[in-house]
Amino acid sequence: MEEGRKTMSSKKYTIVDQDTCIACGACGAAAPDIYDYDDEGIAFVILDDNMGNTEVPEELMEDLEDAFDGCPTDSIKIADDPFEGDPLKYED
């Protein structure tokens, strides 16, 4: 990584809380290589079918951050470690 370059930390994983997603389309517009939509318009992570266990490629980090920042319902979750297929990991 370049010295002084401002980016998210190296490894990131993402998942969509489909219970709170309102199908607004913001994440897919910001990060079309990360997020897509099911038949009802609910977002999911295309990298691993919303399991949260595939590292987001470094070249998509800016898109990931834009999608996270643009989600009106905070349905996009980001972690430094894999979600390990546990959709409740992002619950406090």
CATH number of the domain enclosing 26 = 3.30.70.20
Phi first, then psi, for residue 37 (nearest 5°) are -130, 145
6 assigned to some structural domain: no
Q: What is the tally of structural domains in the chain?
A: 1
Angle at CA 12, nearest 5°, toward 10 and 13? 160
43 contacts 53 by C-beta, under 8 angstroms: no
Q: Is residue 88 part of a domain?
A: no
20 domain-assigned: yes
Over range 84-88, report the average pLDDT.
Answer: 59
13, 81 Cβ separation under 8 angstroms = yes
Please give the Cα distance from 92 to 76 (Å, whole number).
14
Which amino acid does the sequence have at 41?
Answer: G
For 20-75, the pLDDT digits (tens) are: 999 999 999 999 999 999 999 999 999 999 999 999 999 999 999 999 999 999 99
Structural domain of residue 17, as residue ranges? 13-79
pTM for the complete prediction?
0.81
